[in-house]
């Protein structure tokens, strides 16, 4: 039974498949272009945010500010990027650089990432309120069009998820630099010994997180067409759960971009599934928690059995 | 081969290199040069300075005094001069695959096809060193066995990696390899040196040293005490050059009588009441693990009875012993809290009295026991850990190489204290890397490869007997 | 000189400065009202902060994210049990504490048996607690019994009762940490879990008790907050998630574990309230307020790290 240890991606895929099968069983009408689109509608921004969180977890840190950051990006997109696209782009670029700088500072001063990002969550939240004191703004048209495009055969959300998974897999698993970045999480000392500047690698990992956070905010505005300062606060915890569901671990650089996207899809689907279950809305959040615990328990059982084998 | 080597410029040359850590002279003025074609066998006891020497050569540490140069290549750094190290502790990234680990130390692998190149290069290196190794280049390192990981590390050490390996340092490379695989490594080293490379080979397996080294240096107390072509040494001569002369004052003590057996472990370790049992052998051969298992099994993570059945004296202070934020006082009394508490609250007067008592008895050098523990020297910190254990009433005391960094005078005091406590009926299990300490024991178990290779008692406890049981003398 | 090295000093200095700056603007009037308000609102943050402090003392990776859900659940169930009937205040408190014990036990079971990282375990479990709260609340807003509401909003010798409860709990925690065997065990486990275990400390029992303590404190805070604000609301705990961590860190407790700081939690809780009222009285918007709060948290972490480095 080394199957699950060997192919870590198998368990996340299996959980998603089982959940999807159960959903289709409960609600056969969901098995259509329109139905699938509805099921996974909000998955794209969550998947991007999960990838962002994964970049941080990849180097053994954790980001408690991601939800606030995505909200801030959403506010920038719905105002500046819509009204003055050039200024909007500059601001978004500055945000990515700020993330990279954060990574460098955390490494250089050996600060606990959990506290620094906690502080940053206030800063991002404050900036968002500054830009958009009350809900409003509107999505740039091109973004709206992009997010609601209807490709043939397969809905947009699925195409986008596959694209995100594919591209990030290339970036973080296949590419040489991505490999070194994962090495930082696995054994930073041996990476430093081989002559790599770990501080720049850390900054790069954080910069990537910033980039995907920006993309998540943009995708979110494209779907919701407007923004508010608290729009994505729950993404912080969702993204952490997504990474772990996708087979990632908090330490050791063990992450999987494909798994992270699958984790995000599972979390999104869990919400839809529970509403099909005619479960009272009261229990939907709780059932999500229960699903999370169940999947992690299943994983523990499989890995433990593998360890004994 | 030898004449050719002598003519070429040395790959690395150390002149009077020294490295001090505080007052400790880990490396005390070593001059050494290694030429192409040489295989240098490096032997010495634990703490003789081998690791420090290696780290000065590979650029991990910069010397406190003296110079390190790379004349053959003219490079300024060890990395540029083609000096590679394979460390004793595993230094791969366990989350990456074998080929990906090569990428970490091979920055020149670029482009879209790097993965294929890396796979090919590591497969080639593995094939060269360990024909028939059976390790897939795409296997994640954490799915490999310890031996396979070590093979991968060695292969990465010898792999070309864009430049060329000129000097490969192997620190106990065969410690987790079986005999057949080790043999493959030895023949590869010979081929590598014949082709103009150089190797520093550190091993406790004297048979391997003689099989592969062209020159042997012996280190003791941070200095090179012998440096000769391998042919000039005999096995016994090498052991003599490494060894101390054991003081046999303790050994002549009359045999005492002991009580019933109070400790038995699955490894076959036994101890009787009032006995001082030593665990010996080379470092890392399972002694510390055996003691930790014994202690963790005898005590609970959920309950702490007023009278603890067993206490533990740590040798690795930072990892296992010292509570760094606390005062000397609190560090000393942490194990006896349930005994001196009333209704859950610590009796602080009693606590201070006990701490003051032990400060005097064991001679902790401090003005005030409320000073932070880290204000003490290593040896004095160790005394606090002794006080912590001896202050309890536990009938069994487990000691994991507890004398690291303790000065000679204190050692004598502690020996006397241990003997006195043993005479009062306490049992001591004492792992030590120093033969002199082991000679204090009533009975000694020598460990090799996680198993007990000899049990010695009374007059049989001699440095020679212990060494011959520690080293695999039988192997050719 | 020794005072300057007390890690709690800075949170009190900051709180005092914020207080002084606010009072200067109003020309001295309203100082006692401000102090009263700071103590009552700060008390809730201090109570949950004390619990979070104990968990963070256990060392890196230990944090409880189920505080908001536990607060909501305890407040909801306690009010529901009491049903606005007079004389049921103690019953309600008992229910709240039982809720705290239950959630703490569930959290630690996940952490210990399933070996889940505390962050994920408490996060997943908190979703379940939240659902139970939603289910039992059903959108009803049950008023607390009149006597209890009077107590929660009342004062005694000019200090709000809520603050007095918070202070009493703080004294208990302080005695526990400074004088008791359990406190010593907790501090030792946070410094080095392995060394603590090898010194004979029952580390798993210590961890279990700590994860129970944090939820019991959150439950008490939820019970008081629901009584104070005239009923339990489903989002009543939300702001205390980050707040509980922030007051611990600003208060000078080391995120690396092994050192707790009770006075600092109070200084930080007062500061978090006072800085808001200061910025409000200077007419700053919510945005500026949050940005400054975040900057201060990061500044304190950096200051703490450089102090550590120079020592």
| pLDDT digits 0-9 by tens, A223-281 | 998 899 888 888 988 898 899 888 888 888 889 999 999 999 998 888 778 777 777 77
**Residue A3: pLDDT band by 50, 70, 90 thresholds?**
low
Q: For residue C192, which residues of chain B lie inside 8 Å, CB to CB?
A: 319, 322-324
Name the residue with higher pLDDT: A195 or A5.
Answer: A195
> Which residue in C has a C-alpha nearest to residue A250's C-alpha?
C117
Helices (H), chain C: 9-25, 31-57, 67-82, 89-113, 118-137, 146-153, 161-179, 181-191, 193-198, 203-228, 240-250, 262-281, 286-310
Strand order in the sheet with B223-229: B83-86, B167-171, B198-202, B39-44, B215-220, B223-229
Q: Collect all residues of chain B within an 8 Å Cβ-Cβ radius of residue C185.
A: 304, 337
Handedness of CA B52, B57, B62, B65 (dihedral sign): positive
Mean pLDDT of B304-325: 86
Predicted complex: ipTM over 0.90: no
pLDDT band, residue A307 (cuts 50/70/90): low
- pLDDT, position A289: 85
Chain A residues lying within 8 Å of B60, measured CB to CB = 193
Q: Which of C110, C129, C294 sits opposite A120 (nearest CB)?
A: C294
CATH dotted code for B2-242: 3.40.50.300
**Domains of chain A with bracketed CATH:** 3-308 (1.10.3470)
Which residues have C-beta within 8 Å of that of residue B405, sequence separation ≥ 6? B24, B377, B378, B379, B382
- Domain regions of chain C by residue span: 7-306
Distance from CA of B461 to the nearest CA of C (A): 30
pLDDT of B471 over the 50 cut: yes
DSSP C125-193: HHHHHHHHHHHHHTT--PPPPHHHHHHHH-EETTEEHHHHHHHHHHHHHHHHHHHBHHHHHHHHHHH-H
Q: Render pLDDT for C241-276 as a digit per residue (tens, 0 to 9).
A: 888 988 898 888 888 888 888 999 999 999 988 988
Beta bridge partners, B429, equal B277, B398
Q: Which helix (H) or strand (E) holds A71?
A: helix A66-76
- Interchain pair A292, C124: CB under 8 A: yes
Nearest Cα of chain A lies from the Cα of C161 at a distance, in angstroms, of 30
Which element (helix H / strand E) includes C85? none
Does residue B125 register a pLDDT over 50?
yes
What is the CA C161 to chain-centroid distance, rounded?
Answer: 17
Give the residue from C53, C291, C294 with the most A CB atoms within 10 Å of its CB, the best one to mutate.
C294
- Name the A residues in 195-224 with CB < 8 Å from any C CB: none
pLDDT at B427 over 80: yes
For residue range C85-126, list pLDDT tens digits in order.
888 888 989 999 999 999 999 999 999 988 888 988 998 899
Residues on chain C touching A127 (C-beta within 8 angstroms)? 287, 291
A-chain residues near C127 (CB < 8 A): 285-286, 288-290, 292
Q: Which CATH class is domain C7-306?
A: mainly alpha
Q: Inform me whether the C-beta atom of residue B94 falls under 8 Å from chain A C-beta atoms.
A: yes
- Structure-block tokens of residue B15: 């002149």
CATH of the domain spanning B250-470, picked from 3.40.50.300, 3.30.1310.10, 3.40.50.2000, 3.20.20.10: 3.40.50.300
What part of A 153-172 touches B (C-beta under 8 Å)? none
Find out whether B81 and B12 touch, Cβ atoms under 8 Å: yes
The residues pairing with C159 across neighbouring beta strands, listed in sequence order, are C156
The rounded mean pLDDT for chain A is: 88
For residue B150, is pLDDT > 60? yes
> With contacts defined as CB-CB under 8 Å, which chain A residues touch C63?
114
> Which residue would you say has higher pLDDT here, B245 or B39?
B39
Q: What is the mean pLDDT of residues A154-183?
A: 91
The residue among C18 and A71 whose pLDDT is bigger is A71
Say whether A176 and B93 touch across the interface (CB within 8 A). Answer: no
Residues 242-261 of C with CB under 8 A from B: 258-259
**Domain residue limits, chain B:** 2-242, 250-470
Work out the minimum CA distance from A154 to partner chain C, whole angstroms. 32
Contact C124 A293 (CB under 8 A): yes
Identify which of A39, A37, A38, A46 has the alpha carbon closest to the alpha carbon of residue A219: A46
- B2-242 and B250-470: same fold? yes
DSSP B310-341: EEEE-SSIIIII--TTSBHHHHHHGGGTTTTE
Report yes or no: B312 and B398 within 8 Å, Cβ to Cβ: yes
Q: What pLDDT, on a 0 to 100 scale, did the predictor assign at position B475? A: 44
Residues in B closer than 8 angstroms to C199, CB to CB, are: 312, 321, 323, 334-335, 388
Chains that touch C (3 or more CB pairs under 8 A): A, B
Q: Do the Cβ atoms of A204 and A177 come closer than 8 Å?
A: yes
């Amino acid at each position: 039974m080394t199957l699950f240890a060997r192919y870590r991606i198998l368990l996340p895929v299996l959980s998603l498949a089982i959940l999807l099968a159960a959903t289709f069983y409960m609600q056969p009408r969901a098995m259509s272009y329109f139905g699938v689109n509805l099921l996974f509608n909000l998955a794209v921004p969550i998947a991007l945010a999960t990838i962002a969180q994964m970049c941080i977890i990849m180097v053994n840190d954790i980001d408690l500010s991601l939800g606030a950051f995505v909200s801030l990006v959403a506010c920038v997109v719905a105002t500046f990027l819509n009204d003055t696209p050039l200024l909007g782009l500059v601001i978004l670029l500055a945000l990515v650089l700020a993330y990279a700088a954060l990574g460098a500072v955390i490494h250089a001063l050996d600060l606990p990432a959990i506290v620094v990002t906690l502080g940053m969550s206030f800063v991002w939240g404050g900036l968002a309120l500054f830009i958009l004191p009350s809900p409003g703004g509107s999505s740039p048209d091109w973004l709206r069009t992009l997010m609601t495009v209807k490709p043939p055969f397969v809905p947009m959300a699925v195409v986008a998820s596959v694209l995100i998974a594919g591209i990030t897999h290339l970036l973080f698993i296949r590419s040489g630099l991505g490999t070194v970045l994962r090495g930082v999480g696995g054994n930073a000392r041996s990476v430093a010994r081989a002559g790599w500047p770990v501080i720049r690698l850390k900054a790069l990992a954080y910069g990537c997180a910033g980039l995907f956070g920006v993309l998540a905010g943009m995708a979110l505005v494209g779907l919701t067409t407007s923004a508010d300062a608290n729009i994505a606060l729950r993404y912080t915890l969702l993204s952490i759960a997504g990474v772990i569901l996708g087979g990632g671990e908090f330490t050791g650089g063990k992450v999987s971009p494909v798994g992270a996207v699958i984790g995000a899809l599972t979390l999104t689907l869990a919400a839809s599934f529970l509403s099909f279950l005619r479960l009272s809305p009261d229990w939907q959040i709780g059932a999500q928690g229960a699903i999370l615990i169940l999947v992690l328990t299943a994983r523990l059982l499989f890995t433990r059995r593998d360890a004994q084998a | 081969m030898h004449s050719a080597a002598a003519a070429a410029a040395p790959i690395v040359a150390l002149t009077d290199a020294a490295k001090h850590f505080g007052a400790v002279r880990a490396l005390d003025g070593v001059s050494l040069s290694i030429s192409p074609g040489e295989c240098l066998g490096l032997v010495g006891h634990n703490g003789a300075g081998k690791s420090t020497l290696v780290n000065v050569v590979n650029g991990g540490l910069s010397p406190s005094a003296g110079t390190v140069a790379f004349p053959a290549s003219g490079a300024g750094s060890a990395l540029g001069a083609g000096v590679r190290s394979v460390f004793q502790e595993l230094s791969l990234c366990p989350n990456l695959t074998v080929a990906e680990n090569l990428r970490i130390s091979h920055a020149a692998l670029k482009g879209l096809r790097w993965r294929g190149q890396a796979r090919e290069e590591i497969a080639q290196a593995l094939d060269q060193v360990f024909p028939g190794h059976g390790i897939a280049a795409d296997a994640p390192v954490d799915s490999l066995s310890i031996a396979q990981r070590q093979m991968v590390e060695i292969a990465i050490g010898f792999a070309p990696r864009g430049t060329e390996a000129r000097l490969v340092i192997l620190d106990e490379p065969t410690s987790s390899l079986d005999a057949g695989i080790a043999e493959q490594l030895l023949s590869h080293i010979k081929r590598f040196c014949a082709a103009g490379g150089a190797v520093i080979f550190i091993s406790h397996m004297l048979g391997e040293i003689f099989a592969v080294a062209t020159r042997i240096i012996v280190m003791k107390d941070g200095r090179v005490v012998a440096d000769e072509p391998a042919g000039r040494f005999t096995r016994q001569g090498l052991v003599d050059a490494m060894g101390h002369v054991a003081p046999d004052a303790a050994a002549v003590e009359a045999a005492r009588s002991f009580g019933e057996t109070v400790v038995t472990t699955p490894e076959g370790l036994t101890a009787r009441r009032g006995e001082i049992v030593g665990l010996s052998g080379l470092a890392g051969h399972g002694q510390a693990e055996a003691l930790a298992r014994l202690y963790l099994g005898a005590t609970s993570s959920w309950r702490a009875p007023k009278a603890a059945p067993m206490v533990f004296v740590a040798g690795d202070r930072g990892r296992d012993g010292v509570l760094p934020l606390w005062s000397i006082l609190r560090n000393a009394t942490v194990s006896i809290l349930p005994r001196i508490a009333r209704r859950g609250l610590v009796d602080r007067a009693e606590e201070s009295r006990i701490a003051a008592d032990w400060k005097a008895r064991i001679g902790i050098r401090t003005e005030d026991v409320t000073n932070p523990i880290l204000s003490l020297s290593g040896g004095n910190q160790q005394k606090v850990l002794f006080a912590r254990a001896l202050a309890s009433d536990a009938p069994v005391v487990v000691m994991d190489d507890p004398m690291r960094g303790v000065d000679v005078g204190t050692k004598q005091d502690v020996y006397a204290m241990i003997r006195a406590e043993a005479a009062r009926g306490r049992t001591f299990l004492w792992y030590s890397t120093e033969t002199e300490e082991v000679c204090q024991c009533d009975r000694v178990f020598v460990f090799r490869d996680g198993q007990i290779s000899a049990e010695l008692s009374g007059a049989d406890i001699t440095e020679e007997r212990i060494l011959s049981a520690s080293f695999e003398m039988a192997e050719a | 000189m020794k005072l300057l090295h007390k890690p709690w000093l800075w949170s009190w200095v900051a709180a005092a400065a914020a207080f002084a700056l606010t009072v200067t603007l109003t020309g001295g009037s309203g100082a006692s009202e401000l102090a009263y308000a700071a103590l009552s609102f700060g008390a809730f943050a201090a109570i949950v902060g004390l619990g979070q402090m104990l968990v963070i003392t256990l060392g890196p990776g230990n944090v409880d994210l189920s505080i908001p859900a536990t607060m909501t659940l305890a407040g909801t169930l306690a009010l529901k049990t009491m049903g606005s009937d007079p004389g049921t205040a103690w019953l309600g408190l008992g229910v709240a504490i039982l809720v705290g014990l239950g959630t703490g036990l569930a959290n630690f079971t996940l952490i210990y048996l399933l070996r889940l990282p505390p962050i994920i375990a408490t996060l997943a479990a908190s979703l379940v607690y939240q659902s139970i709260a939603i289910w039992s609340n059903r959108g009803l807003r049950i008023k607390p019994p009149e006597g209890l509401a009077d107590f929660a909003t009342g004062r005694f010798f000019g200090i709000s009762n809520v603050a007095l409860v918070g202070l009493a709990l703080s004294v208990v925690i302080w005695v526990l940490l400074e004088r008791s065997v359990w406190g010593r065990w907790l501090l030792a486990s946070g410094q080095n879990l392995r060394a603590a275990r090898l010194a004979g400390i029952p580390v798993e029992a210590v961890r279990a008790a700590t994860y129970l303590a944090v939820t019991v404190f959150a439950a008490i805070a939820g019970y008081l907050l629901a009584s104070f604000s005239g009923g339990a609301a489903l989002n009543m705990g939300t702001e205390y998630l980050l707040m509980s961590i922030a007051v611990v860190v600003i208060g000078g407790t080391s995120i690396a574990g092994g050192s707790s700081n009770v006075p600092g939690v109070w200084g930080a809780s007062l500061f978090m309230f006072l800085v808001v009222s200061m910025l409000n009285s200077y007419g700053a918007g919510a945005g500026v307020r949050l940005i400054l709060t975040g900057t201060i948290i990061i500044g304190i972490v950096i200051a703490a790290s450089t102090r550590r480095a120079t020592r």
